[in-house]
């Protein structure tokens, strides 16, 4: 639905707090990680607002972080399926050109049989990543310029730029997304991406040789091949002057893609909130991203994810000091520690505003939110609800 004719002027401010991978499952008889955590501040917000569960893409579909975040900002993630490569490039301020093919890379560990035993190479630190990237910059390909940039920890960016004909981005991931199996062959899904697949295969082959003597990061995995899309900005679609507080490059990239300002902030929650406070007067939509919930879930660390949720809860009073007119707390997807990865399970959400129809939910958790007043809804509708609570939408029709 085109909301532009309904947009209304308002001084109200909206805050989205996104705990990456927030949702979980009860695998130990302790409830989910969110239910096991002590969260008095989130519980208070839930008791003052309306709660529910969201589907980032659709029931039964496991989303990546890109689709999950796009949905939260009101962009249909099926219509706008943007690969991680573009988001990663934008997140580190790489100057992508039309026609460039970008991919998100992981340094990984393979055994003597060439099978992946650690998809993140022990989460090597960023300095080690920078050293390894310098080695990969030795790679040369025929008729294709190669750019390799460090991102964070085990992550890096690969950009391929053709010197002649245009390349497509329709190439399957080389990342098998599980251990105990070798990296996949880069296969083209369309004719115009054959050259890209050939270039990726040559890059991976050379990378394997260059990294052969490394103890941990002795191979690379690539995923999210993509090219720069053309999207309407958050301001054009929803009349919002947005600002993102995020330490991880991919989420900064999503914000830039949608025309938000990306504030300078450190990688931890305290510095993000410092930046939030500084940016508050100049913006009417602010998005704060918290990564540790997802990282601990992907590590299979139940107690670590509980601790991360409790850290976020302790930070809520600092955010509420800013007196947002509307605050939305949710996640972009579920990452149950029992599954050590993203899952299809719906994500708990709360909206707190003076205009909320308060439901009977008094704690913020999956089981309680399943009976909340929002019901189960597509995540892409959260932005509309936030606009309505902020008095930013006029009546539809006569």
Residues 358 and 350: beta-carbon distance below 8 Å: no
CA distance 317 to 308: 16
Supply angle C-alpha 332, 337, 341, rounded to 5.
Answer: 55
Classify residue 102 by its DSSP letter. E
Phi-psi region of 375 (alpha: psi -120 to 50; beta: other; left: phi over 0): left
Per-residue pLDDT of the chain (398 residues; tens, 9 = 90+): 889 999 999 999 999 999 999 999 998 899 999 999 999 999 999 999 999 999 999 999 999 998 999 999 999 999 998 888 998 898 888 989 989 999 999 999 999 999 999 999 999 999 999 999 999 999 999 899 999 999 989 999 999 999 888 899 999 999 999 999 999 999 999 999 999 999 999 999 999 999 999 999 999 999 999 998 888 999 999 999 999 999 888 898 889 889 999 998 877 899 999 999 999 999 999 999 999 999 999 999 999 999 999 999 999 999 999 999 999 999 999 999 999 999 999 999 999 999 999 999 999 999 999 999 999 999 999 999 999 999 999 999 98
Note the pTM of the prediction, 2 decimals. 0.82
Tokens of 322: 């800013």
The 10s digit of each residue's pLDDT in 139-188 is 999 899 999 999 989 999 999 999 888 899 999 999 999 999 999 999 99
Buried b (16+ CB within 10 A) or exposed e, 47-56: bebbbbbbbb
Domains of the chain: 4-82+230-389 (3.40.720.10), 87-226 (no CATH)
Distance from C-alpha of 91 to C-alpha of 83, rounded to nearest angstrom: 13
pLDDT of residue 35: 98
The secondary structure of 56-94 as a DSSP string is SSSTTPPPPHHHHHHHHTT--TTTS---HHHHHHHHTT-
Tokens of 138: 């030795």
């Amino acid at each position: 639905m085109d909301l532009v004719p309904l947009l209304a002027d308002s001084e109200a401010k909206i805050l989205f707090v996104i705990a990456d991978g927030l949702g979980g499952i009860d695998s130990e008889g302790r409830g989910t990680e969110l239910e096991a955590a002590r969260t008095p501040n989130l519980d208070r917000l839930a008791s003052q607002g309306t709660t529910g569960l969201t589907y980032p893409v659709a029931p039964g579909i496991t989303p990546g972080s890109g689709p999950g975040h796009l949905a939260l900002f009101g962009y249909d993630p099926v219509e706008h399926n943007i690969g991680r490569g573009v988001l990663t490039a934008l997140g580190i301020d790489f100057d992508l050109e039309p026609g460039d093919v970008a991919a998100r890379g992981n340094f990984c560990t393979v055994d003597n049989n060439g099978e992946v035993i650690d998809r993140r190479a022990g989460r090597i630190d960023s300095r080690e990543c920078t050293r390894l990237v310098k080695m990969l910059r030795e790679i040369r390909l025929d008729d294709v310029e190669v750019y390799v940039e460090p991102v964070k920890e085990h992550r890096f960016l690969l950009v391929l730029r053709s010197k002649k004909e245009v390349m497509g981005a329709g190439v399957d991931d080389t990342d098998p997304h599980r251990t105990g199996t070798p990296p996949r062959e880069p296969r083209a899904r369309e004719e115009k991406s054959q050259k890209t697949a050939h270039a990726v295969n040559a890059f991976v082959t050379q990378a394997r040789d260059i990294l052969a003597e490394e103890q941990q990061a002795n191979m690379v995995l690539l995923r999210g091949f993509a090219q720069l899309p053309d999207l309407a900005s958050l301001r054009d679609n929803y009349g919002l002057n947005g600002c993102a507080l995020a330490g991880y490059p991919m989420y900064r990239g999503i914000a830039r893609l949608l025309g938000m300002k990306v504030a300078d902030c450190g990688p931890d929650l305290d510095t993000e909130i410092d930046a939030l406070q500084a940016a508050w007067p100049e913006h009417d939509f602010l998005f704060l991203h918290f990564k540790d919930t997802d990282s601990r879930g992907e590590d299979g660390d139940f107690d670590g994810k509980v601790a991360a949720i409790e850290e976020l809860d302790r930070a809520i009073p600092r955010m509420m000091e800013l007196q947002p007119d509307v605050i939305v707390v949710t996640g972009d997807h579920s990452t149950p520690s029992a599954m050590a990865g993203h899952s299809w399970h719906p994500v708990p959400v709360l909206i707190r505003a003076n205009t909320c129809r308060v439901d009977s939910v008094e704690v913020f958790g999956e089981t309680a939110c399943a009976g909340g007043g929002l019901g189960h809804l597509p995540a892409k509708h959260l932005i509309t609800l936030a606009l309505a609570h902020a008095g930013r939408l006029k009546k539809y029709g006569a």
